[in-house]
Structure 1
Amino acid sequence: MKTSQKTVIRLEKLQKHYGAHIVLKEIDLTVTSGEVLAIIGPSGSGKSTLLRCINYIEPPDAGIVTVGDVTLQAEKKASAKQLHDLRHSIGMVFQSFNLFPHMSVLRNVSLAQERVLGRSKKEADERSMDLLEKVGLADKAQQYPMRCSGGQQQRIAIARALALDPKVMLFDEPTSALDPELGLEVLSVMRRLADSGMTMIVVTHEMGFAENVSDTVMVMADGNVIESGPSREVMRNPQTERAQRFLKAVNER
């Protein structure tokens, strides 16, 4: 781990199902401060659903979710305050950019700061410009998202998530909708975030990122965690037959 061993996220026996279909089967997970966890595995293994359960976009059906000082038990209905406190500490970046097309890039990054954090427009804009500078897009502040490339739009989405000062960032295959060259722009920003000590959980199909940037790799299949450990060990010498089969298939593409 990169920094302290303080636990930022803990999942205990997390389950999610849709009707008779069980998507997550008693997932246990601990992520510490400054850790970068990459989650890999075949399509349909529950990776994206796991991220959505962490911030309660998809409420789990059983188990316990702890993020920072907030603990939610699936069997008990979460209060509005609990959900606010939970989500306030989490930034999430999706496959799709989800930017407001009728607002400038600057306004896309500033709006939530004013509404969620109560910052003035001036304070929010200053913070937004600082973040846009960090993702290499300060010159796009007054443009509209449609005038930006896919890679630029995803970097704007990252800046928007960071603007709320989250304790942890969740990335759901952030480069999957981009061509390889534009994907590299986004991965570069994520690498700098990792180097800065941001706690991150990244669902990804980018095996190079998983091996070289993350601290820990978790392999999922059929709603289970089938292997987890230090990134290079898992990527280069997986111990389970299912993980071996998945990584062999990926490497032969």
Structure 2
Amino acid sequence: MNSITSPYLDSGQESERAAKSDAPILCVDGVGKMFGAHRVLDNVSFQMRTGEVIAIIGPSGSGKSTLLRCINQLEPPTEGRVTIDDMTIEAGHAPSYRELVTLRRRIGMVFQSFNLFPHLSVLRNVSLAQERTMGRSRKQADERSLELLARVGLADKASQYPARCSGGQQQRIAIARALALEPEIMLFDEPTSALDPELGLEVLTVMKELATSGMTMIVVTHEMHFAESVSDRVIIMADGRILEQGESEEVMRRPKTGRAAKFLSAVRDR
């Protein structure tokens, strides 16, 4: 893996985000999601501050990924509301196109699959959205893209195509692409689950750099060490509900519910 040369936040304006604010940047209030008669999320509520890193853990099928998709409206919630800064989206009231564009600018997302354009170079994969949604010229977008590719250790891959890159490299390209839109919050949906341990470590290293530099992040993960040592808070979910949430070490080491303790014991002992 190439070295990661510098953290994401490097200007005076951006570094202000490293200081955690008491005012919540995100409020998830009573969010529920039904797929037909099947309830996937049930009354999920939490808040987060600027600069916080929240890890969401729990057994498969507990609604973790659906929660992220409800936050950025890839899946519209059937109950509750999501507030980002001064924008509130209520269940049952479809956001306008302009609201969706604003929301997607504020919230970046990295998926389990990389979702890169195979016919575009790595550089164009990172630059294209900047031109389309931010109005940057191709030169401006490429300059920003090259900066971000350097920061995720992939400056030498700009002219390559995704198929010539490893899975870990493709996931880091996807992270650079999301960061290029300068989001206020980054959502990561099990970004290492499709990677072998060595390639997954490359991605986790980038995510640790982002966390250290003050990026506001929600990470759905099965990486228990990351959850405990990098995140500020942990949310444990099961059956579409939040079982516990609190400071990472407290939740991970001293769970208060039998269901949470059973899950943590299972993932630590295997």
Shorter-chain TM-score above 0.5:
yes
Unmatched 5+ stretches in structure 2: 1-17
Matched, 1:98 2:143: no
Could you tell me how far 1:69 is from its partner in structure 2?
Answer: 2.2
Is the aligned partner of 1:174 residue 2:191?
yes
Match of 1:15 in 2: 32
Give the alignment of 1:158-197 within 5 angstroms: 158-197=175-214
8 A contact 1:15–1:25 mirrored in 2: yes
Task: Tell me which residue corresponds to 1:240.
Answer: 257
The answer (yes or no) to whether the contact 1:2–1:35 under 8 Å persists in 2 is no
Q: How does 1:1-253 map to 2 (within 5 A)?
A: 3-253=20-270
Q: Which whole-Å CA distance do the structure 1 matches of 2:161 and 2:215 have between them?
A: 28
C-alpha distance in structure 1 between counterparts of 2:83 and 2:139, whole Å: 34
Deviation, 1:78, is 1.4
Q: What is the DSSP-based 3-state SS (H/G/I as helix, E as strand, rest coil) of the residue aligned with 2:59?
A: coil
Q: State the Cα distance separating 1:85 from its structure 2 match.
A: 1.1
User: Which one is further off, 69-78 or 98-107?
Assistant: 69-78
Superposed displacement of residue 82, structure 1: 1.3
Q: Secondary structure at the match of 1:115?
A: helix
Report if the CA contact (8 A) 1:40-1:217 is conserved.
yes
Question: Aligned AA for 2:128?
Answer: L
Aligned-residue offset at 1:75:
2.2
TM-score by length of structure 2 reads: 0.92
AA in 1 matched with 2:25: V
Q: Distance in 2 between matches of 1:68 and 1:89?
A: 10
Deviation at 1:68, TM superposition (A): 2.2
Which AA in structure 2 matches 1:19? G
For residues 69-116 of structure 1, the C-alpha deviation after alignment (integer angstroms, 9 at most, x for no partner) is 211011222111111111110100000000011110000000000000
Which amino acid in 2 is paired with 1:97?
F
TM-score by length of 1: 0.98
Give the structure 1 partner of residue 15 of structure 2. Answer: none
Runs of 4+ off more than 2 Å: none
How far the C-alpha of 1:6 sits from its partner, in A, is 2.5
Report the identity percentage.
66
